[in-house]
Structure 1
Amino acid sequence: MVAVSQNKSIDGRLVAIGCNYEPWIALLEQSGWKTHCCYDLRTADSILEEYSPCICVVDLSNNDFSLNSISLRANKTKQVKWIAIIKKEQLKTDAIRQFINNFCVDYFTVPIPGSHLLDTIGHQLGMLDIEASSWVEITSQHDMGLFGESKSIKQLRDMVRRVAMTEVNVFLTGENGTGKELIAKSIHNLSKRKNAPFVLVNCSSLARDDEKLSLLDGTYRNEEGAPFDGTLMLDNVEELSKELQDNLLAYLQAPSCESLDEEMASDVRIVATSSADLDAAVANGDFSKELYYRLNVFHIKVPTLRERGSDIFLLAETFLTKFAREYSTMASTFSEDSKQLLLRYSWPGNVRELINQVKRAALLAEGNEVKAEHFDLPSKANLKQSLRNIKDEAEKDVLVAVLETHRGQVASAAKDLGVSRATMYRLLNKHNIVPDVRHYNNGYARE
């Protein structure tokens, strides 16, 4: 049964799944809620999609629905506060306990204490109202790395919102310039630690005996002598030396009760970032497998600007307004040729490169309009050449990968690719790839 309700004083909604018309629903109606009931999970899906942020009460006491199907819906819903109704004996079931622990803000056992439930729902609506306001406030700040309307950035915002409210470590990956530091700050500012310090440590600049990681083991103190209780961003975490990897792993593995006196122990949340292939580093033994698993509790792949096509011009306009105000220039619009240039370019430097290019254009523009000549970007002809280079690099990578798979055997590699041996040799010559069967672990040698 699905019930939809709206409170008179708060612009929030209640969705109830699997609930009969019971006294607690009547109590809600008396308090100003309107309800409609039916048994249909597909209807629940559409209601949750349309009405979130909202409260969702799910009745699990009669086993009318698969717990897995409810869990899947709870996992994908946005800004929904879940409350479970169960029988007392169901608390002995691991699956029920796990569902409540993972997805619910509260639960009630039948018979339902109506007044208590009403108080809980009212409180959660208030929390939703505060969270929604905080989310709008943060995402309206364009420099927080979460601005845009593309599908990929909307998914990123949702993941950041979800994980920020937890205490788990986060692992951000993505190309240079995608805004990983800004996203790490967003996670911090949306978390319960927002009033605590946010400390960035560039791992590539750490020496083997560097003491910057002392804030992990409790020896770090602020001016008042208190331990570090904030968010630690480990940028370029793949650059940590073996010694510092071991130190960090030891901290993460040690029970808090054994590491220090409880009052003096640090309470650190780690957001690690990397632009490298850490899976390969683990496979090669260059990065600790155990540490990787400890850091990679919640993985977020930050999209490239190329994957955010619909955001490119939106971001450019935002940055132009900012820099025109900052540098007191008249630049306010883009010419048609500059728009086409922005949209055609592949942006290998991502958002960071876009920011720098728009800053340059804002400074060079003599009037209201920014023109293509104000950007330091390749011309249309050069763009065609760039696309050709990208295609050649992709072709070379495929050839190398297939040769490695077939241990340098050209004939079998050609067969796998569906080309003749003559074509295979022509492609190898084109890319200066020399097969070396004797060293098939590498698979090839390049001139």
Structure 2
Amino acid sequence: MVAVNDKKKNNGRLVAMGCTYEPWIALLEQAGWKTHCCYDLRTADAILEEYSPCVCIVDLSNNDFSLNSISQRANKTKQVKWIAIIKKEQLKVDSICQFINNFCVDFFSTPIPSSQLLDTAGHQLGMLEIESTSLSDVSQQCEIGLYGESKSIKHLRDMVKRVAITDVNVLLTGEQGVGKELIAKTIHNLSKRRNDDITVINCSALVEGDERISFLDPTQCASSGNIIKNGTVLLNGVEELSKSLQLKLLNYLQQPENEKLNEHDLFDVRIITSSSIDLELAVKNEAFNKELYYRLNVFHVVVPTLRERGADIILLAEYYLQQFAKEYNTLAMHYSEDAKQLLLRYNWPGNVRELINQVKRVSLLNDNNEVSLDHFDLPKKTNVRQSLRTIKDEAEKDVLVTMLEAHKGQVASAAKDLGVSRATMYRLLNKHNIIPDVRYCNGGYAAD
């Protein structure tokens, strides 16, 4: 452990993985950083958890660590900014470049420019402070809608934060049960309209003359307290709108802001729409207005399925188990390992909604502290309900790993052999969370 002068003001925390005590570490300590050198990956998880939020500088220049092990830690860490140290010639190594691209905010080649590294670390500390505030807001406003640490949910959190501060139209798509309504509420609660209401309207039940959508035609509005004048409206299942209501919605979206008023009121309503179908296909089949689709699809957010979120399934299951224990005063507080494996293997066609129902059921029916495999009303064999998509994905993943093995981790040559571009190869590797390692030796690939 690096000695730290306790009299100094701790401006930030830094973990140096694989780094010897070098001048740049001393410089950081002089600037008030609390630093910790770590050479053993077995203790890295505990250190990163203790120091988070922090900056982590990992030295890859000597190939002391398995890149897969570092990647797995970088993928699951919370509020950690990763910076890589490499040799200049390592920029020609595909796996190093992919690691930097996927997980690092910056990199430096040896010899280390100490002052520049200090500036970078200080800037990233500032970004962590901003993100901590922003993530806290997300958590307070609608925690469970964005709960998890998978790559897909992190990407979703980033998109929500970016679009919430704007007024652009948002289209949420995804399978039924993924939580589109929760995401819409999060966008509203993080926007400048947070002090107004968000109104959720199921389009399948919407009829002409419904006062909730009178703002679509302000000149015809009657003076009624039920008319929405401000805030956010979520149109759930927007594909269910009748042709006439599609035209009214299109007209509203086309109007300049200063025309969205009648004699007495200004109507300032943000529209968020959601759909569980392929709207582009609906447009091609002339079931949905083409111009309206393009107006709605200014910012498209695809909400990931539960099966795409990996270990988030366990995080969500544990979260809801704790919540139901409080709500129903039940005993069940944790899952057996067999139960966790079942949750991870199951395909979850009903997504988060199905998971909630399952957890509520086991919480109410279980008289013990632990939830076991038999408490779930789910198929115990993984191949009983495998979807065509699951089978295809598994086959695709197997082919990618096999080709990387054959080409000793060289992405470019593996892509050429498969007949795809290098960019496509990287997209497929990212899709399956496969990290190629040119130092591969039997089993040297990580795939979730």
**Fold match (TM-score > 0.5):** yes
- Separation in structure 2 between the aligned mates of residue 148 and residue 297 of structure 1, nearest angstrom: 26
What's 2:302 paired with?
301
What's 1:374 paired with?
375
- Separation in structure 1 between the aligned mates of residue 166 and residue 151 of structure 2, nearest angstrom: 24
Q: TM-score, normalised on structure 2?
A: 0.57
What's 2:253 paired with?
252
What's 1:151 paired with?
151
In the TM superposition, residue 302 of structure 1 has moved relative to its aligned partner by 0.6
Q: Match for 2:330: what amino acid?
A: T
- Separation in structure 2 between the aligned mates of residue 176 and residue 363 of structure 1, nearest angstrom: 25
In the TM superposition, residue 152 of structure 1 has moved relative to its aligned partner by 1.1
Q: Is the 8 A contact 1:331 1:369 kept in 2?
A: yes
Q: Is the 8 A contact 1:218 1:227 kept in 2?
A: no
**Secondary structure at the residue paired with 2:332?**
coil
The 5 Å alignment of 1:176-195 reads 176-195=176-195
In the TM superposition, residue 360 of structure 1 has moved relative to its aligned partner by 0.4
**Secondary structure at the residue paired with 2:251?**
helix
In the TM superposition, residue 284 of structure 1 has moved relative to its aligned partner by 1.6
What's 1:290 paired with?
291
Q: Match for 2:172: what amino acid?
A: L
* CA distances 1:46-80 after superposition (whole Å, capped 9, x unpaired): 765453057xxxxxxxxxxxxxxxxxxxxxx979x
Distance 1:136 1:331, change over 3 A: same
* CA distances 1:271-299 after superposition (whole Å, capped 9, x unpaired): 10011000111122111111111111111
* CA distances 1:225-278 after superposition (whole Å, capped 9, x unpaired): 986111000100011111100011111112233343485121010110011000
Q: Match for 1:240: what amino acid?
A: L
The 5 Å alignment of 1:191-340 reads 191-208=191-208, 210-218=210-218, 228-261=229-262, 264-340=265-341
**Secondary structure at the residue paired with 2:277?**
coil
Distance 1:295 1:389, change over 3 A: closer
Contiguous gaps of at least 5 residues in structure 2: 1-7, 13-112, 396-448
The structure with more radius of gyration: 1
In the TM superposition, residue 382 of structure 1 has moved relative to its aligned partner by 5.6
Q: Is the 8 A contact 1:220 1:228 kept in 2?
A: no
Q: Is the 8 A contact 1:165 1:192 kept in 2?
A: yes
- Separation in structure 2 between the aligned mates of residue 11 and residue 241 of structure 1, nearest angstrom: 61
- Separation in structure 2 between the aligned mates of residue 331 and residue 210 of structure 1, nearest angstrom: 45
**Secondary structure at the residue paired with 2:291?**
helix
- Output the aligned Cα RMSD: 3.6
What's 1:51 paired with?
126
Q: TM-score, normalised on structure 1?
A: 0.57
Percent identity between the two aligned chains: 53
What's 1:412 paired with?
none
Question: Which deviates more, 165-174 or 222-231?
Answer: 222-231
What's 2:163 paired with?
163
* CA distances 1:316-338 after superposition (whole Å, capped 9, x unpaired): 11100000111111111111211
Q: Is the 8 A contact 1:226 1:264 kept in 2?
A: no
- Separation in structure 2 between the aligned mates of residue 298 and residue 272 of structure 1, nearest angstrom: 11
Contiguous gaps of at least 5 residues in structure 1: 1-7, 14-37, 55-76, 80-131, 396-447
What's 1:348 paired with?
349
Distance 1:287 1:142, change over 3 A: closer
Distance 1:301 1:51, change over 3 A: same
Q: Match for 1:291: what amino acid?
A: L
Q: Is the 8 A contact 2:176 2:350 kept in 1?
A: yes
| Count of residues in correspondence between the two structures | 288
